[in-house]
Every structure is written in C-alpha cells, then in structure tokens.
Amino acid sequence: MLNRRVLLTSVSGLAAGMMLPAAARSVELSRIEKTAMRGAIDVTEMGVRPGALDDQSKAFATMLQAASDRDTPLFLPPGVYLVSNLAMPKRVRLTGVPGASRIVYGGDGYLFAGEGCEHVELEGVVFDGANRWLDDHVTGVLDFRDIRHVSIQNCQVTGSGKTAIALERVGGRIERCEISGAADVAIYAVEGRGMSIVGNTIRDCANGGILVHRWQIGEDGTIVTGNRIERIGARAGGTGQHGNGINVFRAGNVIVSGNMVSDCAFTAVRANSASNIQISQNTCLRSGETGIYSEFSFEGAVISANIVDGAANGISVVNFNEGGRMATCTGNLVRNLKTTGPYTADPPGFGNGISIEADCAATGNVIEDAPLHGMNIGWGEFMRNVVATGNVIRKTGTGIAVTVVEGTGSAVISDNLIEAARDGGIVGFRWTEAVTGDLALAGVDAFANLTIERNRVS
C-alpha cells in the first residue's frame, strides 16, 4: 500500500537519480528503455546495424528466423537498413520508431514477402521501395499470401515500383499507415478473410487507392473506414478499371464508411458486382468520372449520407441489364457536376445527379447543379420497382428523367421539390430522346406503370 513514508522515499530516490552525472543518467535511461521493451530482441545484438552502408539482408533474415523460432518480438532502432529478398518466417513481430526506423529495398527481387505464415505484425516502420524494379512473382513491396493474421500499423510505405501492400487470402488489419508514390495501387486485398482497413492516409498512387477484390463473387466482409485518399491516377488507362479511390469488385458484405476521398481520376467509391455493400458517410470531392458507383451484377446496396461535390456523375446505381438490383439511396448530397469526363461518355452522357434502375428507393436526397438530369430513373426498357420521394432537386437540365420505353416496370415519383430545371421538372425519355412534356404538370394517363403526384416544380 502507498503511504506517506513510501511516497517520500520514492520522491527522494527520484531526486537523487536526477542529480546523477550525465553519463550515469544515460546508462539509466538505456536501462529504462530496455525495460520498456522487455521481451523484445534488440536487432543490434544480432549483427544488424542501423545506418550501415552495405546490404544487411543476410543478417536481417537470420534475425527474423531466430525471433520466429523463439516466438519473440523484434525492436528496430532508428536508422536506415538496406535489405532485399526477405522471406517471412512463421511468426514476425517487428516494431520500430515511427518515421525513424527505415527499411530500404536494395533491388534485385523483392523486399518483404510471406506465404503461409501464422502471424505477421509490423508497427512503426518505414518501408521504402526506392522506386526500384520488383520481380514478377511479387505484387507489392509488402507481399503477403495465405496468412491467418497480418497487422500493419503506424507504418509508412513509399516508392513502390508496383503496389505498396499486396494481400491475398489474408485476415487482419491495416491501420494508421501512410502510403504514397506507388506505381500501381496503395492496398490490394484479394480473397480477404475479414480485413479491416482503417484510418490510413493514401496519396499520389498511379492506378488506385484501396482495392478489395475476389476472384469469384463471394462473401468478403472487409471494412474500409476512416481513410483519407488523395490524388489517385489512372496511368493504365481504361474506362473505370483504374483510377478509383476505393474499388470493391465481386466482394460481398463490405462496409465503406467515413472516408475522405478526393481528386481521383475516375471514381471515389466504386463497387462492381458487390452485393450487400454499405457505402455511407463518405466525402467524395472532385472525382473525374462518377462520385459513387454500384454497378453490374449486384444484389443489395445501401448508399446513404454521402457528400459528392464535383464529379461528372454523382451517384449511379445501375446495370439492371446485368442483374444489378435492390438498393436504397438516401440522404445524400450531390452538387457541382460537369458534362466532361476522362473519356467520351456513353449515352445519356455526363452530368447526372443520381441514376437508379431496379428495386430501388431514392429518398431524401439533395441534388444541385446537375447539368444533364438531376435524377435519372431507368434506362430504355431497364426499369422496375423504383420509388423516388422527398428529394430536393434544383438548378439542373431536366429535374427527373424517367424512361417511358415499353415493357418497363413500375415507378412512383412523388413529393419531390424541383426548382430551376431548365428542360422540365419530370420528363419521359425513350433512351436519350425526350418524348413528353413536363409530366409533373400534365399528368401521366398514358403511362399506367407510372405514379407521379404531389411534386412541386418551380
């Protein structure tokens, strides 16, 4: 128990310690630091020297294996370590001083690669790919496959000649990392086993930010939240395969929430054939093509409370022709769209606020400055079971464009407020051709599948 006598004794001991000569204090501090890292191997004790000019790959590999055999963590002191071709042993727990413990790729193969490991944990280390060539059999500077648990926290990964962090059939988390300058993408997670990608900062990558993919459509369960993603290019070209801040492909049950995504060549958040996806509370700024996409053969998408400011198209929930269906699009703010994009647009063109097609409810959205259509419902014969209610739409070309091609399903368009729609409040289209007057004013007796009522157009 702490009493006055013990407290006074502790204080006098501390004071005496502060009166020690500088050399003695240095020894004492060193002892305290080692005590704080109790259980961790100091790499200098195993022949790895910070700041050495020569390649230390052999000593580093020996050290990793020894730590794995002893199931012991490693502490990497500040300094630069030049290494190459390090194959991860069964268990790795490597901790450095954030921003100061720097591992630099020496070239001629790969930096870190691991397959079939039990546990890989990296924290507080800078991994510098030095923009050097990577061998064909690896995808990234950090390349991990078929590992039950990978944890990469508070690290920096820079200058990768391909992808920065490549994961295949991996579970675990990537958190609070800074990734920049990848010649391909920042994080590529394929066939994930419940990954969490949280609170990372990603900048200036040539083809993509965070990619969550699967080889075949299936459950994935990755969570992508709280990341900041900026300046993503599409150096490899295409019409949407590259240039996305967050791209989910064939992966089901994925959550994308609370991310800040800006200045992507194509899309801030793009989901392709991704069922049961939740895209919520993301801020999507200055996307070159579409702010948020849910497309192709998906079933189930919740798109809510996002901000899309500055894109060619705002939010697209489309491709009923490929089986894309079932979504809610609620409470989003879409504004400041444009008619130009990174390629020649397919019909109906760029400048749409929100596009929906099948088994979808679009409610409570606010759309402003969409030069083509504020809302686009259906495409040709592809429209079924759509409800558009309670939306505020202003300063657009057409307020709401709805398909009136024969054979379409039902739609209810009600209680929307449309202001300053240059080409009409609610207009029927046959593909790209406007074929009706303003249905909000004239009624829709000719279209038994449409219910249009209580809309206010001014």
Question: pLDDT for 405-421, tens place per residue?
Answer: 999 999 999 999 999 99
The CA distances from residue 105 to 133, 134, 140, 167, in Å, are 10, 10, 12, 19
Q: Which of 381, 365, 290 is nearest to 327 (CA)?
A: 365
Rounded to two decimals, the pTM is 0.91
3-state DSSP assignment of residue 137: coil
How many angstroms separate the CA atoms of 419 and 414, rounded? 15
- Predicted local distance difference test score (pLDDT) of residue 441: 85
Full set of structural domains in the chain with CATH:
37-206 (2.160.20.10), 352-458 (no CATH)
Q: Measured between alpha carbons, how far apart are the two ends of the chain, in Å?
A: 77
Under a CB-based contact definition with an 8 Å cutoff, are residues 250 and 221 in contact? no
Element (H, E) at 181: none
Angle made by CA atoms 226, 316, 334, in degrees to the nearest 5? 65
Q: Which of 141, 97, 150 is nearest to 122 (CA)?
A: 150
Parts of the chain with a pLDDT under 70: 1-39, 443-444
- 66 phi and psi angles, rounded to 5 deg: -65, -45
- Predicted local distance difference test score (pLDDT) of residue 372: 98
CA 326 to mean position of chain CA atoms? 23
The CA distances from residue 297 to 111, 192, 322, 324, 417, in Å, are 38, 20, 5, 4, 32
Q: Name the DSSP letter for residue 188.
A: E
The CA distances from residue 63 to 41, 47, 75, 76, in Å, are 9, 8, 11, 11
The one-letter amino acid code at 316 reads: S
Could you tell me which residues are beta bridge partners of residue 334? 308, 367
- Predicted local distance difference test score (pLDDT) of residue 47: 87
- Predicted local distance difference test score (pLDDT) of residue 381: 96
How many angstroms separate the CA atoms of 146 and 288, rounded? 35
Under a CB-based contact definition with an 8 Å cutoff, are residues 72 and 39 in contact? yes
The residue count for the chain: 458
Calculate Rg over the CA atoms of the chain.
28
Under a CB-based contact definition with an 8 Å cutoff, are residues 396 and 353 in contact? yes
| DSSP secondary structure of 71-111 | T--EEE-SEEEEE--EE--SEEEEEE-TTTEEEEE-SSB-S
CA 458 to mean position of chain CA atoms? 40
Could you tell me which residues are beta bridge partners of residue 389? 363, 414
Tell me which residue has tokens 């926290």.
153
CB atoms < 10 A from the CB of 235, how many?
12
Under a CB-based contact definition with an 8 Å cutoff, are residues 144 and 114 in contact? yes
- Predicted local distance difference test score (pLDDT) of residue 16: 38
Q: Which of 291, 169, 267 is nearest to 218 (CA)?
A: 169
- Predicted local distance difference test score (pLDDT) of residue 46: 83
Question: Exposed/middle/buried for 18, CB within 10 Å: 0-12, 13-18, 19+?
Answer: exposed
Could you tell me which residues are beta bridge partners of residue 303? 279, 329
CA dihedral 97, 100, 105, 110 (to 10 degrees): 20
Q: Which of 425, 443, 77, 53 is nearest to 63 (CA)?
A: 77
Under a CB-based contact definition with an 8 Å cutoff, are residues 227 and 260 in contact? yes
How many angstroms separate the CA atoms of 358 and 51, rounded? 61
| DSSP secondary structure of 305-345 | S-EEES-SEEEEE--GGGT-EEEEEES-EEE---S--SSPP
3-state DSSP assignment of residue 239: coil
The one-letter amino acid code at 94 reads: L
**All residues at 6 or more sequence positions from 280 whose CB lies less than 8 Å from its CB, including other chains:** 255, 256, 257, 258, 302, 303, 304, 305, 306
Q: Name the DSSP letter for residue 209.
A: E
Under a CB-based contact definition with an 8 Å cutoff, are residues 373 and 398 in contact? yes
